[in-house]
Amino acid sequence: MAEDRLYGAIELGGTKTVLAIGTAEGRIVARRTVPTRPPEEVIRDVAAFFNDSGPALTALGVGAFGPIMIDRTAPNFGQLCETNKPGWSGFDLAGALERATRLPVRLVTDVGAAAIGEARVGALRGHQIGIYLTVGTGIGGAIVVDGSVPPALLHPEMGHILLQRLPGDAAPSTCRFHDNCAEGLAAGPAIMARFGKSLDHFAPDAPEFEMIADYLGQMCGQLVLTLSPQRIVLGGGVCGAPGVVPAAHRAMVRHMGSYAPAGVAAAGYMTTPALGQDAGITGALLCAAETMREPA
């Protein structure tokens, strides 16, 4: 019966890879975490986990770091684009996973998987349009519409939205592409380069803390003006610092002035993930179940 089916899920991150088995509703029944090494080694871990798991699986959902081609109509679907992760540029992830597991693969980005998890069973549930942002080693973002990530030319790169630097901020950007994008100014490496320690070492009223909150607020304000989401979820290590999400929310409202719907200023409009660290792997499970509803 359909409700008895089990699915595989992978959250492929730059540092670690989470493997899981679970149900179509996102309930995890088994998991394993392995370090993200060269692709051939990760594929061996994947094959060992899923092929030796016991119960037969129906499909595999994958949320992968990028940039990666997720357009199924593209000739290079499933391949990593140029990335700083050694050995992964040009790797055919979807093809390798299908060969290793003999399962149909449903592929999204890692942040896309987290967004889907939050949209269907987490903090974005009940909202037609939502945004999920993760602020950590980099800044990634995904749009979800009615619980799904809409098709795109590649995938959104919200972390590279350009910002206005605060007066006196002359710190070098840590982004090799842009001098003043959100990722280059406010992601984890940028914070360490600026201050020599992570954001959670600063009090919420410290100038350093207020600077990062301002930059995150600027980024979210631009997303509100462009996409008019009904809620924004902020995850990742940087946003785990106590007080940073409400501070970024206040900064966003301040930057937007009165040029936004009243709901944008409401408590809870910007919030943390309801699923915590399981948002991505839960979303990948939900994506795997979609293969049963897709046309052949």
Distance separating alpha carbons of residues 115 and 279, to the nearest angstrom: 7
**pLDDT 10s digits, 186-224:** 999 999 999 999 999 999 999 999 999 999 999 999 999
**Which pLDDT does position 14 carry in this prediction?**
85
Find, among 266, 224, 263, the residue nearest to 246 by Cα: 266
Whether a cis peptide bond, with omega within 30° of 0, leads into 189 is no
User: Cα(30)–Cα(45) distance, rounded to whole angstroms?
Assistant: 15
**Helical residues (DSSP H) of the chain, grouped into ranges:** 39-51, 93-101, 110-121, 182-186, 188-195, 207-227, 244-256, 279-290
Positive or negative CA dihedral for 199, 200, 206, 212? Answer: positive
The 10s digit of each residue's pLDDT in 229-269 is 999 999 999 999 999 999 999 999 999 998 888 899 999 99
**Six-digit token string for 132:** 């999920």
- The torsion defined by the Cα of 237, 232, 184 and 179, in degrees rounded to 10, comes to -170
CB atoms within 10 A of CB 79: 19
Domains within the chain, CATH numbers bracketed? 2-112+277-290 (3.30.420.40), 126-272 (3.30.420.40)
Residue 153 is predicted with a pLDDT of: 78
- How far apart are alpha carbons 43 and 12 in whole angstroms? 11
The pLDDT-based confidence of 10 (bands split at 50, 70, 90) is very high
Indicate whether this model's pTM tops 0.85: yes
The pLDDT assigned to 293 comes to 61
More confident residue, 294 or 59: 59
Pairing of strands 16-22, 7-12: antiparallel
The pair of three-digit structure tokens given for residue 3, joined into one six-digit string = 């409700």
d(CA 273, CA 112): 13
Report whether 20 contacts 285 (CB < 8 A).
yes
Question: Which tokens hold the place of 235?
Answer: 């995850």
| Cβ density class 8-39: b for 16+ within 10 Å, e for less | bbbbbbbeebbbbbbbbebeeeeeeebebeeb
Beta-bridged to residue 234, according to DSSP, are 133
Q: Is pLDDT larger for residue 296 or for residue 91? A: 91
pLDDT at 259: 85
Q: pLDDT tens digits, residue range 20-37?
A: 999 999 999 999 999 999
246 upstream amide cis, omega within 30 of 0: no
Residue, of 49 and 151, whose pLDDT is higher: 49
Residue whose structure tokens are 């809620």: 231
Can you tell me the distance from the alpha carbon of 285 to that of 218, in angstroms, rounded to the nearest whole number? 33
What is the average per-residue pLDDT within 113-134?
97
Distance CA 62, CA 53 (A): 17
Asked if the model's pLDDT at residue 1 lies above 70, the reply is no
For the chain, the maximum distance between any two Cα atoms, rounded to a whole number of angstroms, is 63
Give the torsion through C-alpha atoms of 15, 173, 276, 251, to 10 deg: 180
What is the average pLDDT score of the chain? 93
User: Of 47, 60, 31, 29, which Cα lies nearest the Cα of 292?
Assistant: 60
